[in-house]
Structure 1
Amino acid sequence: MTSPYRAVFRTPGAKAFSAAGLIGRMPLSMLGIGIVTMISQVTGRYGLAGALTATLALSGAVCGPQVSRLVDRYGQARVLRPVTAVTVASVAGLLVCVRAGAPDWAYFACVICAGLTPSMGAMVRARWSEIHRGSPEMLHTAYSLESVVDEIVFIVGPITSIGLCTVWFPEAGPLLAAVFLGTGVLLLTAQRATEPTPVPHAHLNGGSALRTPGLPVLCGVFVGVGTVFGAVDVTTVAFADERGHKALASLVLATYALGSCLAGLVFGLVKPGGTIAGRFRLGIGLMAVSMIPPLLVGSLPFLALALFFSGLTIAPTMVNAMGLVEQLVPRGRLTEGITWTSTGLAVGVAAGAALAGRVIDAHGASAAFWVCTTAATCAAAVAFLGYGRLLPAPDREELDDDEPDRSSVHGVGRHDGCREGEGVA
């Protein structure tokens, strides 16, 4: 492991909460696809499977920011444990209902409650922000690391979930997802030394983090980016199916994630120049440009190559987006702010999958890549038009002054882990 990544892990407890976050994030890529595989195997009804996963996504979009808002106010341990207990119980209830052949309404009741699943990525990033608050360079490396973890989750999770459901028993994928969530939350909340200090007064005035001027711009961009992701997934599968190699679709999509993973690793090693807002705008612009080549390809190898290069734009853009949230949102609402961007992404993924599906049915897979290109262009337009609103929160320093110094509470200095010989940008 190279020096920047060694540096971010020098703080006691960093490795433990990062590993816990990886485990707890696995359901993000396992639960939805696991439900689709389970329901389609048991009932043969793909319509029901799709409706259940859409309900799960919408429930998560509604509940996720509220759960994170409670976390900011009361702390991770006090909120995540009961919320996760409800989620795990809901997934278990769904598995029992499927096994018993319960009516459809019981399935929907379970997945609605399962939407309480906490955003583990937001929880981990909030801890990194707390630890490296005084070192933007270390925070940049930490966010780059987390973007790589996200890609690992989306490479390993679906394969594991689908494989277990098809090889072992239909309920195995969602079951393991629930086990991962429960285990990850227990391990994370046991790490009290690195838990961000709750800021109860942050929610007494000012309302939701979404009212922060620049956050709606970021959420709008993320809806567009999520649309790209959802459309790419569905269109790639259809593209491979049209050419008689549907099984290769997972490998093609893996190259997309691999490009992002490699870019994230490299991006964490460099000292970026310019402003975070400027880098974010550039990344979104490059993402839009990178969605042009898929319109021109006619074979799976060339599609894999095109998606690999497109994937190179993802992780750096996400890292800069998280840095922007950290700048824009008052510290007492940071977890909620990060979760709102994830909500925008989830809404976009659902919309992209639906739009691409309709285009594929009407005009074929190649035409559906226009959904990806159009969505990326819209995301870039929102980023460019809203650039002036991507300014730091004026009350950020006031909130920081009100909070206890982590170095006196947990023995963690604000500048611990800084690379020797480098100043703070």
Structure 2
Amino acid sequence: MQNPYTEIFRAPGAKGFAASGFVARVPIAMAPIGIVAMLSQTHGEYWLAGAVSATFALTNAFLAPQISRLVDRLGQTRIVVPTTVISVLAFAILIAAANQDWPIWTLFVSALLAAAMPSIPAMVRARWTEIFRDRPELNTAFAFESAADELVYVAGASLSVGLSVALFPEAGMLASTLFLAFGSMAFIVQRSTEPRVRLAEHGSQGSAIRLRPVQIITFALIFIGATFATTEVTTVAITEELGQPGAASLVIGVYALGSFVVGIIIGALNLKMPLQRQLAIAIAIIALTTLPLLVADTVPALALAVFISGVAISPTFITAFGLIERHVPGAMLTEGVTWVMTGIGIGMALGSFAAGAVVDAFGAQNGFFVSVVAGAIALATVLIGQRSLATSDCDFAACEAGVVPAE
């Protein structure tokens, strides 16, 4: 039996855009925590570090879909080049402002401008879709991208903090900026795999968020994102309470490992079950596996419970993006993917806040109740939306004709 991952990389140009896209997306994980690590050392105030980081993250969450919408209309090169230049220059100013102790307002303004950073993961998935549209290889490609996202989030945050602590405060942000600049440059020069700009067709006007399937998936993944952040925050709190704070990084790493391994396996399979049912099953597993977290009161038990709770994360992403590819017209695919990724980011921000508040008020172990509630809401959302998410065995053009905006 041939390795399906070997097969997808036989496509001309696939290795190049996948590799450069991986480098260019590393700042997604490095920048937010890198800002905190940098400013907490240069200014000694965590509230300021958190506020500047939140300014960048929330602004990027708002701008990214709008930028991706322009990408769909004008092409990747015409939009990625100017937005990346703006973001790189803004990050450079932010680093200089932190190092030279410039006025506080310069930190916030540069963070706002840096949020112009485009959604490289969405554009990489758009290239895979252009190559493998309506073919089973697309599922494998999406599985690879989900695994790459997992690796980026695990390694990127650790690298950013490690550089800042080991070298100098600005080291993490400097590395993140260089990854963005050179990765994006290498990605965009590969014009042969850039998706063609598709003319807007019936059902393709306006924003992708007006489409019911995009609304359902984005809303559900807001709460899935909340379970991620809650697990991380609560794990840190519990390990500190148990007197083993160093175990937090190991437990969180195990969380990502479970998702990474299962995602790779799922990508190698050609499952025949309808995607909307696969999504419902994956989210049901996430929801059910939040329950053992409530009784994990030792580090080994916590690590085991966290590992189990992470196994369905990549399958959730794979099927979610597969459904977006099926339901969103080609003329707005990049925007559709970006909305889903934005939902995950918003959920992580809200989950961190909610989990922190619950931990402070009711104790570390109770932080996992946020995961339980978030998982239940996500599951209810996809179950109620099964009819809207259903796909037929049609060609993509026919599927596009069946997409209608939400009322």
Residue 274 of structure 2 is matched in structure 1 by 275
- AA of the residue aligned to 2:389: L
Residue 387 of structure 1 is matched in structure 2 by 386
CA distance in 1: counterparts of 2:198 and 2:400, whole angstroms? 10
Call closer, same or farther: CA 1:203–1:232 in 2, change over 3 Å.
farther
Q: What do residues 48-106 of structure 1 show as CA deviations (whole Å, max 9, x unaligned)?
A: 11111211121011100011001111111111011000001111110111111122221
Residue 356 of structure 1 is matched in structure 2 by 355
- Consecutive unaligned residues of structure 2, counting only runs of 5 or more, are 402-407
- AA of the residue aligned to 1:19: A
Task: Give the Å deviation of 1:36.
Answer: 0.7
Contact 2:30 2:172 in 1 (8 A): yes
Q: For 2:139, what is the secondary structure of its paired residue?
A: helix
CA distance in 1: counterparts of 2:376 and 2:398, whole angstroms? 37
Task: Give the Å deviation of 1:199.
Answer: 2.1
CA distance in 1: counterparts of 2:317 and 2:203, whole angstroms? 30
- AA of the residue aligned to 2:118: P
Bigger shift: residues 105-114 or 201-210: 201-210
- AA of the residue aligned to 1:13: G
Call closer, same or farther: CA 1:109–1:229 in 2, change over 3 Å.
same
CA distance in 2: counterparts of 1:225 and 1:248, whole angstroms? 24
Contact 2:327 2:399 in 1 (8 A): no
Q: What do residues 106-149 of structure 1 show as CA deviations (whole Å, max 9, x unaligned)?
A: 111111111111111101100000000141x1001111111111
Task: Give the Å deviation of 1:396.
Answer: 5.2
Residue 11 of structure 2 is matched in structure 1 by 11
CA distance in 1: counterparts of 2:399 and 2:67, whole angstroms? 21
Contact 2:274 2:391 in 1 (8 A): no
Task: Give the Å deviation of 1:374.
Answer: 0.8
Q: Does 1:80 align with 2:112?
A: no
Contact 1:221 1:379 in 2 (8 A): yes
Q: What do residues 138-173 of structure 1 show as CA deviations (whole Å, max 9, x unaligned)?
A: 001111111111111112111111110001010010
Q: What do residues 254-307 of structure 1 show as CA deviations (whole Å, max 9, x unaligned)?
A: 000000110111111112121011101111111100111111110111111111
- AA of the residue aligned to 1:335: T
CA distance in 1: counterparts of 2:89 and 2:296, whole angstroms? 46
- AA of the residue aligned to 1:148: A
Residue 62 of structure 2 is matched in structure 1 by 62
Task: Give the Å deviation of 1:395.
Answer: 11
Residue 337 of structure 1 is matched in structure 2 by 336
CA distance in 1: counterparts of 2:212 and 2:306, whole angstroms? 33
Contact 1:228 1:372 in 2 (8 A): yes
Q: For 2:269, what is the secondary structure of its paired residue?
A: coil
Residue 263 of structure 1 is matched in structure 2 by 262
Q: Does 1:316 align with 2:315?
A: yes
Task: Give the Å deviation of 1:201.
Answer: 3.3
Q: Does 1:299 align with 2:298?
A: yes
Call closer, same or farther: CA 1:118–1:396 in 2, change over 3 Å.
same
Residue 39 of structure 2 is matched in structure 1 by 39
CA distance in 2: counterparts of 1:18 and 1:249, whole angstroms? 31
CA distance in 2: counterparts of 1:284 and 1:186, whole angstroms? 36
The Cα RMSD (Å) is: 1.9
- AA of the residue aligned to 1:308: F
CA distance in 1: counterparts of 2:2 and 2:78, whole angstroms? 36
Contact 2:64 2:116 in 1 (8 A): yes
Residue 49 of structure 2 is matched in structure 1 by 49
CA distance in 2: counterparts of 1:244 and 1:193, whole angstroms? 54
Call closer, same or farther: CA 1:132–1:118 in 2, change over 3 Å.
same
1:149-298 alignment, distance < 5 Å: 149-201=148-200, 206-298=205-297
CA distance in 2: counterparts of 1:19 and 1:303, whole angstroms? 34
Contact 1:331 1:399 in 2 (8 A): no
CA distance in 2: counterparts of 1:14 and 1:153, whole angstroms? 19
CA distance in 2: counterparts of 1:2 and 1:185, whole angstroms? 32
**Fraction of identical pairs, as percent:** 41
Q: For 2:233, what is the secondary structure of its paired residue?
A: helix
CA distance in 2: counterparts of 1:278 and 1:61, whole angstroms? 28
CA distance in 1: counterparts of 2:176 and 2:57, whole angstroms? 15
Contact 2:24 2:182 in 1 (8 A): yes
Aligned residues between the structures? 400
1:382-421 alignment, distance < 5 Å: 382-392=381-391, 397=397
CA distance in 2: counterparts of 1:169 and 1:352, whole angstroms? 30
Residue 105 of structure 1 is matched in structure 2 by 105
TM-score (norm. length: structure 1): 0.91
TM-score (norm. length: structure 2): 0.95
- AA of the residue aligned to 1:131: I
Q: For 2:296, what is the secondary structure of its paired residue?
A: coil
- AA of the residue aligned to 1:152: L
Contact 1:202 1:333 in 2 (8 A): no
- Consecutive unaligned residues of structure 1, counting only runs of 5 or more, are 402-425
Call closer, same or farther: CA 1:204–1:321 in 2, change over 3 Å.
closer
- AA of the residue aligned to 2:238: F
Bigger shift: residues 294-303 or 385-394: 385-394
Call closer, same or farther: CA 1:205–1:290 in 2, change over 3 Å.
closer
CA distance in 1: counterparts of 2:317 and 2:225, whole angstroms? 12
> Runs (4+) of structure 1 moved beyond 6 Å?
398-401
